[in-house]
Amino acid sequence: MYLTQKNKIRNLSSQEFIALRQLCRLTKNMYNVGLYSVRQFYFAEGEYLRYESNYHYCKDNENYQLLQTDIAQQTLKVVDKSFKSFFNLIQKKWEGLYRFEQIRIPKYLNKPGYFPLIIPRIKVKNGYFNIPISLKFKTKYGTVKIPFPERLVGKNLKEVRIIPRFNASFFEVEFITEEEPQLVVKSDNARFYRPWFRQ
């Protein structure tokens, strides 16, 4: 079972705010770069360019180079999921479950827009974690430090997402954890069998 804790990011320095906006702009660019490759391949070949192949088309792009590798790859995986959904709809169309005019190929994100940072792993130190960034980005923009909730210490953290809100005028952080579902037994419905108990 996956659980999500969402917090508004507060008390960023002006440098951290600028860096975070730039990171979310780079992921938007990366999404569009990845989408361009998949769309062009589809138009030329009529087939689906999988993430594993698309990665090789995109890894030399300047946006990929500025982003930390994990974040760039997670962005390309979102492109992959978007196109998988597109092809699933096409399949359903052939099964008579959809009309073709209802199916839309994934579109590019707005040029001046932003896109979430999807971070598969972080290192927490003294109640904070640094957003993973490339050395090239750090040299120009510095680092961004985010508080880590004390209640999540020791939890099985699967993913962290930084979400730009209202044209990146502020940001939210989502922590996704995986937990075993708790089995709740109501005592008034419970029955106990004790073969060794004799009256």
DSSP for 6-32, please give it: EEE-----HHHHHHHHHHHHHHHHHHH
For the cut 80, the answer to whether the pLDDT of residue 101 exceeds it is no
Distance CA 113, CA 77 (A): 19
**DSSP secondary structure letter of residue 135:** H
- Model-level pTM? 0.86
For the cut 90, the answer to whether the pLDDT of residue 7 exceeds it is yes
Distance CA 54, CA 35 (A): 9
For the cut 70, the answer to whether the pLDDT of residue 189 exceeds it is no
pLDDT digits (tens, 9 = 90+) for 121-171: 999 999 999 999 999 999 999 999 999 999 999 999 999 999 999 999 999
